[in-house]
Amino acid sequence: MVEHEMKTILEGQGIVLRYAMESDIDEYLVMLNDPESTRLTGSQQEFSRERIEAWLRKISIPSDERADFMIVSTETGELIGEVVLNEMDTINRSANIRIGIQGTAHRGKGYGTEAMRLMIGYGFEKLGLHRIHLGVFVFNPRAIHVYEKLGFKREGVERDVLYLDGEYQDMIKMSILEDEYRVLYRAE
């Protein structure tokens, strides 16, 4: 990976979104192996340093297929999460969005809400998307509340998609359309 100068792509209040850098490896590994983060995202795999180094190299270069941004605290410069638009469909102008915030110290401070707001705007305004969708597990009411506050609407439920701690869990499917975004965010 070519280490490049930290380039802010989007700036919010308290955070910036930027491309991945080689120096992110240690903080990114901590984030991916955080037990609460893996539970909330439904991740059931282990991540080796070599695998993550290769992944960071891949996502550090802009792509037409996905937009991966690291969430960095403007106060501390610390990597606190990631937000991603993936599964991009240029014909139908849609994409999936996902987010991960590292550790309990960073949750509940509005970083995730701000990162999602910035990424939704990026998707509709910069990438010209029509629809942004996501899936959230029913056991994550805090995330569901944030997504609804950001304008996402419930579309349905995928039943028993995750086997976790001896039980199957459902996933709520949600989306926001460009017209809904424009109405909701024009008032700001």
Give catalytic residues, as residue numbers: 147
- β-bridge mates for residue 132, sequence order: 95, 176
- Tokens read off for 118: 């910035």
Q: Report how far residue 45's alpha carbon sits from residue 169's, in angstroms, rounded to the nearest whole number.
A: 17
Burial class (CB in 10 A: 0-12, 13-18, 19+), 13: exposed
Give the HSE-up count for residue 132: Cα atoms under 13 Å, Cβ half-sphere.
29
Q: Which two tokens stand for residue 72?
A: 């960095």
What are the strands of the beta sheet with 15-18, ordered from one edge? 8-11, 15-18, 67-73, 79-89, 94-101, 131-137, 167-177, 153-164
